[in-house]
Structure 1
């Protein structure tokens, strides 16, 4: 093949398919290797190297062969003598490249229909190249031309018609009507690899479309001087964007809006008239929520944060701003909640006063409010006046006093709530982590002192001792010891109390043997420990033994017991689940 013909063919294919010339050369080498295998009996596992010289258009085929003393397989082996003609320093066992280009290879290529093979390889290379290219573009904005519009969506041509993308109906802006041959910008949401080439999914409702458009229109965002903190979007209706400056003396909101709103107007035009609100981000959640509800004016924002998933903000606005804060069908409040990540409850000033005035009747709350408590009578009068005259606007002084009163009431209420929580938490920790007080049993000691009431003491009692041959006159006096219980019984039966016996005869008595007797001891105050806990531990041991026995016999399974507490304001609700049954009760 002549030099000019080969170069022209390679350059033409690269230009038509918009592929690099190196990719076309690799495809051409692969196609010629396939034709060579068809022409010869070379196996598919043996490596075939193809070299194409673009200077003179010459094609050469090389095989990798092993140098041996005696050739058994000519396709894979070469003798040492022939190998040293190619490379004099070769040794037995090494691998050498052998030129096996057939004679008249160029003419024989045409007979093997190499054109179809080359075109097929080029199509495969083009698909792979497009997949890699658009995979890098995933998450970015792409430009395209609408080719067709169907009830299921639209087909968009990308990259000068080299690839087709799908814009599903659910990813189109509601109310937007696309026309064939219309140029649009869309967000490349997903790239899928299929046997027929890459499948591209576009979106015009994704919130990151706003981010990429702002990066395109606002140089400060692209350069990192202004950062986009959060985006909340209702496609086709309204979008709220929170921005913050990364360096001082930079107006983040003004940079996004542009001179006379030119920058933001281009985005509105691109999105078909969708309204865009640019809000300055603030680290304080209360201030950020108040700004997110713009254009409504906010009086106060009260935050109630139980857990991360239960963060609620109670917002108070003037009566005439309530509908503006909520928005049409709750749009403004919904977008503000998405933007800030808080659940927002919006109340008018009248509703807020009706809620807080009964609470501050508590003396403790009034004391915590301090000087703001003097505003309570004025707030009560203003509330009564506005309830009797619906539609009466609140004056500036009334709004200022109402803001002061609501803030003080909220701070006092939260302070009391935190104190109550701390107290209950301390009590719970004391109940759970209270150390057991060990009760030491004293050594058995003979004592004539009476034990305290309800006490437990080991008292040593002497065993009955018989006198050694007492005199007959003293036989009645020396008797066996009688138990105290017997004495009490005889007394209760009406018998005469036993008289004091005369002194026994002095005789050597054996040393008495002490026998311990358990008597209850006093339990230290204030927390009971000892007997009750021992019984509980015994019950737990018996229960564990029963569970082990049931598991071993296979007669039952251990049921899960779940107990959790939900702390809500001043009440503690306990719920316990046993065997699928739920029991709720209030713990005082």
Structure 2
């Protein structure tokens, strides 16, 4: 058993990156539990020592030396004690070393599962720690398999395989084996058996992280992303603001010859991106959010309920609302305001065009 145990620990360190020191206590506890169960003794009656350098471990059962035996599981008679150690005296405790056969028998009966559990727990804890470092970040992944029936894709990154579910993929995007894609890690789930990552290509923060990667001014904090609204696969609106009045936040995000934003659009399978100027004044921010439509005026109806009325030129009405109300919906999500869009010449008939888009 000695060689099997220590070989397994060395392999664990080599393949999983789990330091032996991290699991030694857990394994010692597991062996102790098995021995206590086998000998029906208390916690203070078992001692376990492991020596990785010598590849040896020692397990001892500790008993009280007595001249009148009342409990053989925790006591040893003085005569028997002196046969094992001539210095044994009544009132002292004697450490009785178990031989390899005894340990092997105990492990075979109840210890191996506990040891395996201890190692599995250590692997899971290490994995959870590694996954936590990736939480809310974008990672480069390679598509290794696409399930034809469900459309779920298995992706691989950093020696980890995980599932990119169909509903987390960009609509109309066709993934094939060998594709290199960027995914957003939006959660780490730990169960009794393992840790798993929840990844997404539809999460709005994927866009934010991509801008941080492409735009140095965002990465260093000069330009700040204030809010994002997204309909994955179709359109994203992102509101940006600059701490430095000499830096144009929109221009920084677009890049020379549209190079920066084009890289992000390509990564998102052609998704359109509207970059708008954030403003602390709600009326101005709402007008910007309805881009590319022109806005005549914005009236805040109720600050607490965050409702407003927007007047646009008659010719810009369809553009302001967008296809199936998309532009208005995204503007509402971006600003947090319920937006009632009306043409300059008069009110919108409810049956013809939606009057209000509600921020979610």
How far is 1:64 from its partner?
5.9
**In structure 1, C-alpha distance between the alignment counterparts of 2:51 and 2:280, rounded to whole Å:** 66
**In structure 1, C-alpha distance between the alignment counterparts of 2:279 and 2:246, rounded to whole Å:** 16
Instruction: Output one character per residue of 1:557-582: Cα deviation in whole Å (capped at 9) or x when no partner.
Output: xxxxxxxxxxxxxxxxxxxxxxxxxx
Distance 1:91 1:152, change over 3 A: farther
**In structure 2, C-alpha distance between the alignment counterparts of 1:188 and 1:314, rounded to whole Å:** 37
The farther-off stretch of 220-229 and 151-160 is 151-160
Distance 1:122 1:323, change over 3 A: same
Unaligned runs of 5+ residues in structure 2 are 349-360
Larger relative contact order, structure 1 or 2 (CA cutoff 8 Å, min sep 6): 2
- Aligned with 2:180 (options 178, 183, 203): 183
**In structure 2, C-alpha distance between the alignment counterparts of 1:189 and 1:343, rounded to whole Å:** 28
Counterpart residue number, 1:112: 108
Counterpart residue number, 2:321: 326
- Aligned with 2:48 (options 41, 47, 50): 50
Q: Do residues 276 (structure 1) and 273 (structure 2) align?
A: yes
Q: Do 1:153 and 1:166's aligned partners in 2 also have CA atoms closer than 8 Å? A: no
Q: Do residues 123 (structure 1) and 117 (structure 2) align?
A: no
Counterpart residue number, 2:330: 335
How far is 1:66 from its partner?
6.3
Distance 1:157 1:119, change over 3 A: farther
Q: Do 1:315 and 1:344's aligned partners in 2 also have CA atoms closer than 8 Å? A: no
Distance 1:42 1:347, change over 3 A: same
Structure number with larger C-alpha Rg = 1
How far is 1:240 from its partner?
0.5
- After TM superposition, the structure 1 = structure 2 runs for residues 182-261 of structure 1, keeping only pairs within 5 Å, are 182-261=179-258
TM-score (norm 1): 0.50
**In structure 2, C-alpha distance between the alignment counterparts of 1:34 and 1:42, rounded to whole Å:** 10
What SS does the corresponding residue of 1:179 show, helix, strand or coil?
coil
**In structure 2, C-alpha distance between the alignment counterparts of 1:222 and 1:79, rounded to whole Å:** 74
Counterpart residue number, 1:311: 307
Q: Do 1:14 and 1:24's aligned partners in 2 also have CA atoms closer than 8 Å? A: no
What SS does the corresponding residue of 1:185 show, helix, strand or coil?
strand
How far is 1:23 from its partner?
3.3
Counterpart residue number, 1:458: none
- After TM superposition, the structure 1 = structure 2 runs for residues 39-438 of structure 1, keeping only pairs within 5 Å, are 40-43=38-41, 48-63=46-61, 72-77=70-75, 99-104=95-100, 108=104, 112=108, 118-119=115-116, 121-135=118-132, 137-146=134-143, 147-162=145-160, 164-305=161-302, 308-309=304-305, 311-317=307-313, 319-351=314-346
What SS does the corresponding residue of 2:190 show, helix, strand or coil?
strand
- After TM superposition, the structure 1 = structure 2 runs for residues 504-583 of structure 1, keeping only pairs within 5 Å, are none
What SS does the corresponding residue of 2:265 show, helix, strand or coil?
helix
**In structure 1, C-alpha distance between the alignment counterparts of 2:45 and 2:163, rounded to whole Å:** 41
What SS does the corresponding residue of 1:350 show, helix, strand or coil?
coil
Instruction: Output one character per residue of 1:147-177: Cα deviation in whole Å (capped at 9) or x when no partner.
Output: 3324434143455444x43333322211111
Distance 1:290 1:2, change over 3 A: closer
What SS does the corresponding residue of 2:171 show, helix, strand or coil?
coil
What SS does the corresponding residue of 2:299 show, helix, strand or coil?
strand
Unaligned runs of 5+ residues in structure 1 are 355-588
Q: Do 2:250 and 2:277's aligned partners in 1 also have CA atoms closer than 8 Å? A: yes
Q: Which has the higher strand share?
A: 2
Instruction: Output one character per residue of 1:206-246: Cα deviation in whole Å (capped at 9) or x when no partner.
Output: 21222222233333333333222111111111101111123
Counterpart residue number, 1:20: 19
Counterpart residue number, 1:573: none
TM-score (norm 2): 0.77
- The size of the alignment, in residue pairs, is 342
